[in-house]
């Protein structure tokens, strides 16, 4: 009986056509190993390496845009909700009908105090939180606390608003610091991926030249600040325009016109003895239904949740696992001293006057210009459009931070301060008449130009990053001088 041939050929034996297969490659024990496991004939190692680092650079750009968009949505929701609620709470009829004798103005003042005063303690624990959670997770947790603040406005009571405001105040500085550190780290990684050939020639222990990533940091900061500025809650750039959407598409339908709200206002601008003297205590023509308020707050909550997903899903890690510094190797004493040790840098001490000025110029834009000149003369219903003009002017002018690639750092700082000085002198001699709309174009032009000066100031301070200086250290130091101007636009509204 004949043996049945095996279904599969035994390894190492000759095939039916001899010692070569159909492709002409020798088979059997004498087959060359390189023909089987060698490199692809058309493989170009240099080209593949170039494509690999190109994908890495695109990933860094994706991280920068995701962080910028997440910050824009977060602060747009936070500021839009805060501004809308404070205007509603200003109306006497709204307070009496909806809240009775609950003491809503006292709750609002304590809520704003929690947002403004609590961050002072953040100078101590911010480095600890960033070291413990990591840069990306600190951003995610801080954005989540902002979403928590939005959710508490569904049920406005003392035990919901004030604790959430305190929690928000505790998360403000960690959010700014982690975002500043994240953008700085992305600039460093982009430099590494752009100069990978130079890195291969260096030893693993050798660091890049000091300040080598500064040009990329200027570009990334210009992109970041055109979307979002974390130094002041009342001074984002594009996020400030997004914050006006609830007022434009919802609240303006319930507001009285300027003839009612400005009926007792006698003077504006430089002739006024204060901000909105004689402004009417009732600004709502009809009270918004609770169902409509819930719909608006639900939309804002959904946007805040989207910002959390952007940070979580699209922002990559700032450091590799081997680059994270163990807390035990640093020491708790050194960690708590980190925000204060940087004051020894004389360059940072020379910028302290600009930090203080940065807070007060935004305070003037949101109170003196928008309220003392804008609302006082053209009505509360046009406040959102004035602030949008200011925000868009600042956002578009953030690209002027790229001038730091060719000009000294002092040029944009002095240019922004000089522009504000000229506008201040012009406004000092101008007193618009109440309830007159003929000069509204002057207000829009002044708001845009003030935004240009703010952009020059902010990008000059933050984008002009000093070599070897971590951005989040600078943000923590900035906070001490600017916290007094943070959300003061709210009570004035």
CATH number of 140's domain: 1.20.1250
What pLDDT does 479 receive?
A: 43
Beta bridge partners, 26, equal 20
More confident residue, 277 or 334: 277
Mean pLDDT score, 386-408: 82
163 found inside a domain: yes
Q: What is the mean pLDDT of residues 472-489?
A: 37
Which range, of 194-203, 222-231, 315-324, 326-335, averages the lowest pLDDT? 326-335
pLDDT of residue 475: 41
- Distance (Å, rounded) from C-alpha 1 to C-alpha 22? 31
DSSP assignment letter at 399: G
Question: What's the confidence (pLDDT) of residue 237?
Answer: 61
Assigned domain for 204 exists:
no
SS3 content of the chain, % helix, strand, coil (to 5): 70, 0, 30
pLDDT of residue 336: 65
Q: Which two tokens stand for residue 101?
A: 């004798």
Q: How confident is the model at residue 221 (pLDDT cuts 50, 70, 90)?
A: confident
- Nearest CA to 311 among 220, 178, 184? 178
Binned at pLDDT 50, 70 and 90, residue 487 comes out as: very low
* Distance, CA of 473 to CA of 459 (rounded, Å): 16
> What residues contact residue 290 under an 8 Å CB cut-off, 6+ apart?
none
Mean pLDDT of 267-271: 86
pLDDT, tens digit, 9 for 90 and up, residues 5-38: 555 555 555 555 444 455 555 555 555 555 556 5
pLDDT for position 141: 93
The domain tally of the chain equals: 1
* pLDDT the model gives residue 467: 37
DSSP 271-319: G-SSSSTT--S--BSSPPPHHHHHHHHHHHHHHHHHHHHHHHHHPPPSS
The pLDDT value recorded for residue 421 is 92
Q: Point out the least confidently predicted range of 62-71, 158-167, 225-234.
A: 225-234
pLDDT score of 405 more than 60: yes
* DSSP, res 15: B
75 within some domain: yes
- 492 assigned to some structural domain: no
CB 90 within 8 A of CB 283: yes
Q: For all residues of the chain together, what is the average pLDDT?
A: 77
Question: Measured between alpha carbons, how far is 417 from 390 in angstroms, rounded to an integer?
Answer: 16
Query: Looking at per-residue confidence, does 39 or 75 come out higher?
Result: 75
Residue 272: which of 373, 131, 346 has the closest Cα?
373
| Mean pLDDT, residues 318-339 | 63
> At residue 452, does pLDDT exceed 80?
yes
Give the model's confidence band at 312: pLDDT under 50 very low, under 70 low, under 90 confident, else very high. Answer: very high
In a domain, 16, yes or no: no
CB 227 within 8 A of CB 238: yes
The answer to whether position 25 is within a domain reads no
The 10s digit of each residue's pLDDT in 131-170 is 788 889 999 999 999 999 999 988 888 888 888 988 998 8
Q: Roughly how many angstroms between the first and final C-alpha of the chain, as a whole number?
A: 104
The pLDDT score that the predictor gives to residue 250 is: 92
pLDDT bin (cut points 50, 70, 90) of residue 456 is confident
Quick one: average pLDDT of 432-446? Answer: 90
In a domain? residue 70: yes
In a domain, 186, yes or no: yes
Over range 209-225, report the average pLDDT: 74
- pLDDT of res. 235: 42
Q: pLDDT band for 492, please (50, 70, 90 cuts).
A: very low
pLDDT at residue 210 above 80?
no
pLDDT band at 240 (very low <50, low <70, confident <90, very high): confident
User: Structural domain of residue 390, as residue ranges?
Assistant: 49-197+212-486
Residue 338 has pLDDT above 90, yes or no: no
Residue 247, pLDDT > 50, answer yes
Name which of 483, 490, 485 is nearest 119 in CA terms: 483
């Amino acid at each position: 009986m004949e043996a049945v041939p095996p279904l599969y050929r035994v390894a190492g034996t000759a095939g039916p056509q001899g010692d070569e297969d159909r492709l002409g490659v020798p088979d059997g024990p004498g087959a060359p190993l390189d023909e089987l496991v060698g490199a692809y004939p058309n493989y170009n190692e240099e080209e593949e390496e170039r494509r690999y680092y190109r994908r890495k650079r695109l990933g860094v750009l994706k991280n920068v845009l995701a962080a910028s968009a997440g910050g824009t949505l977060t602060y747009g929701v936070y500021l839009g909700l805060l501004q809308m609620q404070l205007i509603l709470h200003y109306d006497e009829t709204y307070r009496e009908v909806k809240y009775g004798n609950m003491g809503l103005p006292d709750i609002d003042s304590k809520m704003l105090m929690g947002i403004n005063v609590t961050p002072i303690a953040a100078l101590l624990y911010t480095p600890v939180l960033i070291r413990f959670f990591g840069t990306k997770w600190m951003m995610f947790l801080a954005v989540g606390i902002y979403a928590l603040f939005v959710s508490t406005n569904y049920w406005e009571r003392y035990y919901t608003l004030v604790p959430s405001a305190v929690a928000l105040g505790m998360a403000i500085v960690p959010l700014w610091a982690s975002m500043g550190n994240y953008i700085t780290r992305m600039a460093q990684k982009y430099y590494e991926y752009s100069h990978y050939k130079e890195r291969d020639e260096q030893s693993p222990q050798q660091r890049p030249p000091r300040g080598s990533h500064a040009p990329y940091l200027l570009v990334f900061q210009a992109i970041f600040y055109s979307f979002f500025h974390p130094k002041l809650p009342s001074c984002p750039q594009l996020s400030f325009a997004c914050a006006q959407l609830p007022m434009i598409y919802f609240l303006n339908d319930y507001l009285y016109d300027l003839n009612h709200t400005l009926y007792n206002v006698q003077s504006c601008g430089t002739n006024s003895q204060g901000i909105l003297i004689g402004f009417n205590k009732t600004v709502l023509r009809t009270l918004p239904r609770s169902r409509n308020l819930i719909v608006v707050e639900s939309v804002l909550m959904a946007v805040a949740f989207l910002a959390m997903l952007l940070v979580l899903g699209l922002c990559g890690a700032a450091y590799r696992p081997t680059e994270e510094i163990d807390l035990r190797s640093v020491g708790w004493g050194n960690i708590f001293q980190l925000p204060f040790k940087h004051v020894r840098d004389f360059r940072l001490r020379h910028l302290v006057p600009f930090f203080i000025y940065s807070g007060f110029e935004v305070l003037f834009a949101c109170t003196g210009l928008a309220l003392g000149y804008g609302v006082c003369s053209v009505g509360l219903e046009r406040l959102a459009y004035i602030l949008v003009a200011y925000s868009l002017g600042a956002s578009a002018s953030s690209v002027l931070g790229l001038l730091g690639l060719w000009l000294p750092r002092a040029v944009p700082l002095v240019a922004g301060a000089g522009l504000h000085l000229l506008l201040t002198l012009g406004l000092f001699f101008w007193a618009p008449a109440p309830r007159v709309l003929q000069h509204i174009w002057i207000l829009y032009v002044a708001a845009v130009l003030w935004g240009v000066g703010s952009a020059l100031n902010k990008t000059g301070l933050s984008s002009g990053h000093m070599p070897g200086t971590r951005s989040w250290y600078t943000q923590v130091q900035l906070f001490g001088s600017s916290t007094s101007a943070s959300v003061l636009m709210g009570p004035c509204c």
